Chain A
Amino acid sequence: MSASSQQQGPVVRWIDQRLPIFSFLQHELHEYPTPKNLNYWWNFGSLAGIVLVIMIATGIFLAMNYTPHVDHAFDSVERIMRDVNYGWLIRYVHMNGASMFFLVVYIHIFRGLYYGSYKPPRELLWWLGLIILLLMMATAFMGYVLPWGQMSFWGATVITNLFSAIPWVGEPIVTWLWGGFAVDNPTLQRFFSLHYLLPFVIVAVVMLHLVALHTAKSNNPLGIDPKSDKDTIPFHPYYTIKDSFGLGVLLIVYMALVFYAPNALGEAENYVPANPLQTPEEIVPEWYLLPFYAILRSVPDKLGGVVLMFASIFILFVLPWLDTSKVRSARFRPIYRQVFWIFVLACIVLGWAGAQKPEGAALMIGRLATAYYFFHLLILMPILGKFEKTRPLPESISQPVLKN
């Protein structure tokens, strides 16, 4: 039993002896020994957790006023915007929250890539994170369908049609997904049900992600394991306050969007009610799915495109084994450090290509970026680990500081 829970009052002690929630919190949130050299890039994990809470909170209240029916969905969203008290605020926070969630999570993932946070003993931690990403994509996609605008409808049509690429069973699967012969009321109703369910599944996987984190312990910018107590500090108050400051900065960006440019990241077309008889001139997914959309469209074959798109995410599951380098942090890998940024650039170019019409130069650039994406992960990572001359690792986390 931890020393400080002994200092608590009798009520806390009574509960703690039967259900150790207080010593658990004390242990995991308060004392949790954290490397003392974490930089601001380590803020994004907890930021993602907080955005998830904001999304669930606003979502619950939106659901109280939303009607999942093709005849009423668009109108019920407009009613939320106009008649429900603060409905416009809750909806804009939820809508832009999706963008914030992906932004924060993408930075979190790139941080993991730069500092080698996926390497042993953190492979399962990395896997759980990727599962969260997949669940987020599914949730965001289904949430985007709910307002039942033109982009909702046609986005749902295009994405569900991806499954028709599966040989033999593709068509029956799509019909099953739709619950009909096109995206229609049954589709909308099941998407609403799943959109409400999946965030709680995400919460559960986040819990596992945290269990894995607290078992393998946090990585740090040097990528070396803490050697002694000198290398770590308790999570509270050092990282609670640092995360709070990070949250303040995030909220400033987030709320500036919500209050002054709430529709900047959305498509105007989604304020046109869904019309199953007329496709908009251009169907563009939300920005956070654009890189995957670009990969999908870079292959002229239907099945090939779908396979490549899913492969682009699933390949990340084997990254801990594709990366053969023993050194975690890119700080001590002079070449990986350079190609990492080329990889980031390739992902951004993919995002750009996803927003363009798939023709001419944009299509070619998209193809090149797709090729580089896979080249980096499949070829560069295994080879680099073998031949790259890494710089010497410091003795311990506190040593380079002591030198100064």
Chain B
Amino acid sequence: MSDTVHGHGGEDGETRRDFLVLASAALGAAGAGLAIWPLIDSMNPAKDVLALSTIEVDLTPIAVGQRITVKWRGKPVFVDHRSPEQIAKAAADDNASLKDPQTDKDRVKKPEWLVLVGVCTHLGCVPLGQKVGQPRGDFGGWFCPCHGSHYDTSGRIRVGPAPVNLEVPTYSFLNDTTLRIG
């Protein structure tokens, strides 16, 4: 293609810099940007998903020493009714060498109830130790079989590749026997 100008409509360099053209380009770009937002936002959690983002757990059937798993936001949550020995062990380990130092007191609201998101902080596997007979690792807490992370009775990482302690979700006690997670 030669650089001859077609017809009489030359100087398109000048035209393009025209204020009106710039204004319409800017407005159009802003409009397109805004129009994309509904599409992006449709991928965020929908109302029915958000409605399920808090759950209530009845604590009465959980005996001392028993651990149960509930599903919250698509993930397992461990509710551990700890025995006095387990509480003592967790408190004693506050001074051990910890990868992610945290005292047991900071990780619970009531010492007998330990609530954890049951997802290994390494790569997202669910650690073992919830059921009777499963390995609980070298520290009596949980053991992740994927890459060998050991958690103690406070859910703190002690040995293995996981970088931080098991996450404690937002929760509160509605009364003595009802736990609300989320």
Contact = CB atoms under 8 A, between A and B. Distances in A.
**A and B touching (C-beta < 8 Å)?**
yes
Interface of A: 2-4, 27, 31, 33, 36, 57-58, 61, 64-65, 79, 82-87, 89-90, 229-234, 236-238, 241, 244, 398
B132 interface: no
Contacts of B15: 237
Nearest to A6: B3
Interface in B1-49: 1-9, 12, 15-16, 21, 24, 28, 37-39, 41-44, 46-49
B39 A87 contact: no
A188 B6 CA distance: 53
Nearest to B31: A251
Contacts of B49: 83
Given A84-B46, A90-B42, A244-B24, A237 B7 contact: no
Q: What class of interface size applies to chain B in its complex with A?
A: 20 to 34
Given A31-B1, A244-B28, A86 B6 contact: no
B45 to A, nearest CB: 8
Contact of A58 (B7, B39, B46, B47): B39
* B7, B8, B41 — most chain A CB neighbours (10 Å): B7
Contacts of B39: 57-58, 61, 86, 90
A83 B6 contact: no
Across chains A and B, which 6 residue pairs bring their CB atoms closest together, nearest first? A86-B38, A83-B47, A3-B3, A83-B46, A233-B7, A85-B41
Nearest to A229: B6
B154 to A, nearest CB: 38
A27 B43 CA distance: 38
Given A83-B48, A237-B15, A241-B21, A64 B42 contact: yes
A233 B48 CA distance: 55
A85 B21 contact: no
Contacts of B37: 86
Nearest to B36: A57
16 contacts: A2-B1, A27-B1, A65-B46, A79-B48, A84-B42, A85-B41, A85-B44, A90-B38, A90-B39, A230-B7, A230-B8, A233-B8, A233-B9, A234-B6, A236-B12, A237-B16
Contacts of B12: 234, 236-237
A126 B1 CA distance: 27
Given A61-B39, A65-B42, A232-B7, 20 more contacts: A3-B1, A3-B3, A4-B3, A61-B42, A64-B42, A79-B48, A85-B38, A85-B42, A85-B44, A85-B46, A86-B38, A86-B41, A87-B46, A229-B4, A229-B7, A231-B7, A234-B12, A236-B12, A237-B12, A238-B9
Contact of A233 (B2, B4, B6): B6
Nearest to A91: B42
A147 B176 CA distance: 47
A301 B45 CA distance: 53
A36 B41 contact: no
* B42, B43, B47 — most chain A CB neighbours (10 Å): B42
Interface string B152-173: 0000000000000000000000
A36 B44 contact: no
A232 B7 CA distance: 6
A237 B2 CA distance: 18
A238 B42 CA distance: 37
A36 B9 CA distance: 10
Contacts of A65: 42, 46
Contacts of A83: 46-49
A75 B4 CA distance: 61
A232 B21 contact: no
A89 B36 CA distance: 12
Contacts of A3: 1-3
A87 B48 CA distance: 13
Contact of B7 (A36, A57, A61, A82): A36
Contacts of B46: 65, 79, 83-85, 87
A241 B12 CA distance: 12
A2 B1 CA distance: 6
A82 B21 contact: no
Contacts of A57: 39
Given A27-B1, A82-B47, A234 B9 contact: yes
